[in-house]
Amino acid sequence: MVAAGLLFFALCSLTLGLPTARDELHVHERRSDVPNGFKYLGKADPDALLSLRIAVAPSNLAGLEAALYDVSTPGSKNYRKHLTKAEAQAFVAPKPDSTSAVKTWLSKNNVTATATSAAGDWITVRIPVAEANAMLGTQFGEYAHEETSTKMIRTLSYSVPASVKEHIDVIHPATSFIEPRTLSPAVRAFHSPRASAGSRNGIHLTAKNTTASATSASKKSSPTAAAAAVDTSCKTQITPECLQSIYNIPSAPASSGRSNLFVASFAGESATPSDLKAFLSEFRQDIKAASSNFIVQTVDGGTVNFAGGTTEASLDIQYTAGLATDVPTTFVSVGSNNTDGAAGFLDIINDLLAQDEGLENTNAGLFNASGRAFPDIAAQAQGFQVFVNGQVKPVAGTSAASPTIASVVALINDAIFKEGGRPVGFLNPFLYSAGVAGTLNDITQGSNPGCGTDGFPATDGWDPVRNHSVVLRSTLS
């Protein structure tokens, strides 16, 4: 009897000591190798703290997508009847069993959430590397971005138990290697903006020959009053006045009191009120002094250095305040995050972005499965005159077009508000709707060469270089 009892006890101990099938770890995300531009430095310090964000599976993402299109598609009975924050959160809020499963898993690993999003779909934890290694069945390492020497703690794969696998979308930034972004002017010149009366606005520019961008030529290229008014200097240097002339952007102040514009800043980019004031004094002397101020918000540890501005942030603030006249501008500094931009074909988010179905069918399988490409709308992006720490820099790049488009939309919203309407929201269905697509300028000459190729050529109609040009105010007023 004693022997039998000991045998039973031993079997129970053995059974309790083995993990169940639902506790076994399964690979959730994996990279085959270290991304280009990064190098592995070695194992991460086991005591280093990791801040990880767990995306809990939303309860009704399909419903959210349907609602998005319902309020964004011209002709829909709910067009521009946008969701409230609470309504949107209801779509992305996880199911109770998903929340319970993830919290139970964290509790078993003695991990406590440090923050949870309002909808409950993001849970933030802060744990030592050693604990993260054990919980996720991985080995976090220290990596460096070779160009900037920026260091980060990442892994090439991680695993979660079967009990939570279906309840977790992603754990960020475990396998995320995002290049630290820097914006380098495509043309470089530094000179006093008032140095010579012989040059426009006193700016001396030495242009660098840049061919890696499309040349703008509209198929609606017959002379117009607006085109005739464009100063010839706008061929090499862009100012707010140039953009107003090229795109018929009004200089009259916004007056609804309801339109707002937000500028997102990443990777420590900062703008200064003094640079904005100097910019407006030079290029928009008609704007009142109060408009040289902007509101600042910080998110996830973002900071703003008013003692010194950077190119990217200065570009965005100056060309929103300088184009969307008197629209209140908020500068949002986001910590520990960044993105990049370009043109080409989309693989990941194509299902969420409306585009002409005929275009997708034409290009399907050529560059990606769907034929979905970006950007959907484009504008001037070379020779932008920007004040950075009191000096004028000519700047070029995909970022330069963004504040122009944002300003046009902000002014459209202001006009809609003045008529008692609701603002535009998600623009893609609107851009590709029958009543709008034909009113946009079509870029027909040039290409985007790079990487040893001629790139995509600009042609009549849709092309992957620019898709659409920027809208003209006269066609939307």
DSSP 402-434: HHHHHHHHHHHHHHHHHTT-PPP---HHHHTSH
CA-to-CA separations, 107 to 57, 60, 113, 138, 409, in angstroms, rounded: 19, 26, 9, 19, 46
Burial class (CB in 10 A: 0-12, 13-18, 19+), 385: buried
Greatest Cα-to-Cα distance within the chain, rounded to the nearest angstrom: 109
Amino acid identity for residue 453 in this structure:
T
On the question of pLDDT at 343 being above 70, the answer is no
pLDDT above 90 coverage of the chain, percent: 54
Which one is predicted more confidently, 274 or 182?
274
| 321: helix, strand or coil | helix
Give the residue extent of every domain in the chain: 20-58+93-172, 200-343+378-476
- Asked if 201 and 191 count as a contact pair (C-beta separation under 8 A), the reply is no
pLDDT-derived band at 227 (thresholds 50, 70, 90) equals very low
The token pair that represents 351 in the structure block: 């299902």
- Distance of alpha carbon 477 from alpha carbon 472, whole angstroms: 9
- Residue 212 pLDDT exceeds 90: no
CA triple 260-264-267, angle to 5 deg: 165
Q: Which residues pair with 264 in a beta bridge?
A: 332
Confidence check: pLDDT of 8 > 80:
no
For residue 191, pLDDT beyond 50: no
What is the token pair recorded at 277?
């004031």
| Mean pLDDT value across the chain | 79
Q: What is the mean pLDDT of residues 72-97?
A: 96
* 160 half-sphere exposure, CB direction, 13 A CA radius: 21
| Residue that wins the pLDDT comparison between 434 and 324 | 324
Residues contacting 147, CB < 8 A, separation 6+: 37, 179
3-class secondary-structure state, position 52: strand
Instruction: Dump pLDDT digits (tens) for 462-473.
Output: 677 655 554 444
What are the C-alpha distances in Å from 10 to residues 2, 3, 19, 21, 461? Answer: 12, 10, 16, 21, 76
Q: Which helix (H) or strand (E) holds 86?
A: helix 85-92
In this predicted structure, what is the pLDDT of residue 332? 93
Instruction: Please state, in angstroms and rounded to a whole number, the distance separating the CA atoms of residues 176 and 391.
Output: 36
Rounded to 10 degrees, the C-alpha dihedral 255/258/261/262 comes to: 150
Choose the weakest-confidence range: 213-217, 260-264, 272-276, 469-473.
213-217
Identify the pLDDT of residue 196. 34
CB of 469 closer than 8 Å to CB of 440: yes
Greater pLDDT, 131 or 246: 131
Which of these ranges, 285-289, 310-314, 403-407, has the smallest mean pLDDT? 285-289
Which residues 6+ apart lie within 8 Å of 414 measured at CB? 254, 255, 256, 258, 259, 327
Q: Is the pLDDT of residue 460 over 60?
A: yes
Residue type, 139: Q
Token digits of residue 68: 């998005």
Q: State mean pLDDT over 426-432.
A: 86
Q: What is the dihedral of CA 223, 224, 228, 231, to 10 degrees?
A: -110
Ordered alpha helix ranges (H), 248-371: 273-283, 311-321, 357-363
CA distance 442 to 265: 31
How many Å apart are CA 99 and CA 406, to the nearest integer? 37
Known binding residues are: 442-443, 461, 463
Fold held by 200-343+378-476 = Rossmann fold (3.40.50)
CA distances from 165 to 28, 101, 104, 139, 370 (A): 7, 10, 13, 19, 28
Task: Summarize the confidence of residues 321-350 as an average pLDDT.
Answer: 68
Kindly state the average pLDDT of the residues 398-422: 93
Q: What is the rounded distance in angstroms from the CA atom of residue 165 to the CA atom of residue 24?
A: 11
Q: Reply yes or no on whether the pLDDT at 19 is more than 50.
A: no
Q: Which two tokens stand for residue 315?
A: 């570009």
Q: d(Cα 123, Cα 368) in Å, to the nearest integer? A: 33
Residues of each annotated binding site for Ca(2+): 442-443, 461, 463
pTM of the model: 0.72
Radius of gyration of the chain (CA): 27
Looking at the DSSP bridge assignments, the partners of residue 392 are 387
Band (373; pLDDT cuts 50, 70, 90): low
* Mean pLDDT of the region 161-166: 96
Is residue 313 very low, low, confident or very high in pLDDT (cuts 50, 70, 90)? very high
Grade residue 266 by pLDDT with cuts at 50, 70 and 90. Answer: confident
Whole-number pLDDT of residue 141: 98
How confident is the model at residue 459, as a pLDDT?
80
363 — pLDDT class (breaks 50, 70, 90): low
Strands (E), 220-271: 261-265
- For the segment 32-59, the average pLDDT, to the nearest whole number, is 97
